[in-house]
Amino acid sequence: MPPRSSPPKAVFIDLDDTMISAYAKVHEHWTEVLHEHAHHLEDQAVPDVRDAIMEASRVFWSDPARHRHGRLNIELTITNIIQDGLSQVGLKQDRLAHHLGDHFAAHRERKMHLFPGVHETLDALRAAGIGLAVVTNGPARSQRPKLTRFELADRFDHVLIEEEFGAGKPEPAVYEHLLATFDVDPSEAWMVGDHLEWEVAAPQRHGITGIWCNVHGHNVPDHHAHVAPDHVINGLEELLALLGLDPSDEKA
């Protein structure tokens, strides 16, 4: 890592589940949504239907190529995953899948929130003269509104959304573009995010410092056991301690 006396010139930061709570509580969200629709589930118990949908989801998203296509067509993808899950427990109801998909999306939207200290951290980093980019995968129609809703867009020098840019993490083009945009050497850049491959291992292959932001306190999954983050933080505000900055620096 760079010594504290030479802080990064640019910090690239993931959005979902790094700055805002977005997708990590899927188990809890499905439990709540299915309980509200229990009367549509025939004889199936909510936990069984939930587990079937979550297993269908796990299988779908485990393939990187499918993941890329699926996240850019997210509404259709979620409906298809729900249909798969429902059919596993003998519920072949396309209308129910659409209905649950809409309800799940609305439920998750309502539950989204900014993590504490994010605005203060970004403002302190900017006040210290560090260039900031938000780097998020997915379509503009889902990611842009979140940047506006949580008052994040104006806090960044550069916004990179996968669909708009034409490539997403962990593709090399993303990191090459970020380094060129800020005109920095990889040793002068940090990437921060909750995904150990996309935001730690991938940028490290370019020489960028990879920081794992483990807000939800997850264990390292077996398939990422080989990844060695340069730092692990439990929330974005811990960047300030790594850099020897204080939140009040924003007022300086």
Which residues in this chain contact Mg ion in the complex, by CB under 5 A?
14, 16-17, 194
For residues 17 and 237, which CB has a smaller minimum distance to Mg ion in the complex? 17
For residues 128 and 236, which CB has a smaller minimum distance to Mg ion in the complex? 236
For residues 155 and 195, which CB has a smaller minimum distance to Mg ion in the complex? 195
For residues 94 and 164, which CB has a smaller minimum distance to Mg ion in the complex? 164
Q: Where are the beta strands (DSSP E) in the chain?
A: 10-13, 20-21, 113-114, 131-136, 158-161, 189-193, 209-213, 231-233
Shortest CB 125 distance to Mg ion, Å: 18
For residues 17 and 163, which CB has a smaller minimum distance to Mg ion in the complex? 17
Shortest CB 170 distance to Mg ion, Å: 12
Tokens of 106: 């609305």
For residues 17 and 162, which CB has a smaller minimum distance to Mg ion in the complex? 17
Q: What is the C-alpha R_g of the chain?
A: 19
How many Å apart are CA 107 and CA 104, to the nearest integer? Answer: 5
20-21 and 113-114 strand pairing: antiparallel
DSSP-assigned states of every residue in 97-163: HHHHHHHHHHHHHHH-EEPTTHHHHHHHHHHTT-EEEEEE-S-HHHHHHHHHHTT-GGG-SEEEEHH
Distance of CA 244 to the CA centre of its chain: 26
Shortest CB 16 distance to Mg ion, Å: 4
Residue 10, phi-psi category: left (phi > 0), alpha (psi -120 to 50), beta (remainder): beta
